[in-house]
Amino acid sequence: MSVAWGAAPRPPDLPYNPCMMDEQEFRRKSEIAIDALKKSLIAAEDSAQMEVEEQAGAVHVSFDDPAGRFVISPNAPALEKTGEKLKPLVSRLINEQLGREVVALA
């Protein structure tokens, strides 16, 4: 393959990935997931001594003891993935924050 001086080689064509969703589909699915998560968090508010609010499409979870705040937003996915589903992941993180098992989001 010949490359002109100063030009980067062209990457090979990548095959189409039918499993990959577009931005509009991601937004639609993330809104549904965040809304369901928000409802579950609100139902668990009293038992976990936390406050749940929605601000600009993101869910904010605030803790008094120990002090802390989680912000769950519908931004495009990051490269870091644990493979966990959203509700079990948030349940685990809340329980770690509180230092005891008090939340199991349904």
Strands (E), 40-90: 50-55, 58-64, 67-72
Q: Which residues contact 57 (CB under 8 A, 6 or more apart)?
A: 31, 34, 73, 74
Give the pTM: 0.71
pLDDT value at position 79?
54
pLDDT at 74 over 70: yes
What pLDDT is stored for residue 11 in this prediction?
Answer: 54
| pLDDT band at residue 103 using 50, 70 and 90 as cut-offs | very high
pLDDT the model gives residue 14: 52
pLDDT surpasses 70 at 65: yes
Token pair of 66, please? 């120990």
- Residue pair 84/92 in contact (Cβ under 8 Å)? The answer is yes
Q: Nearest 5°: CA angle at 16, between 15 and 18?
A: 140
Nearby residues of 58 by Cβ (< 8 Å), 6 or more positions away: 34, 71, 72, 73, 74
For residues 47 and 77, the model is more confident at: 47
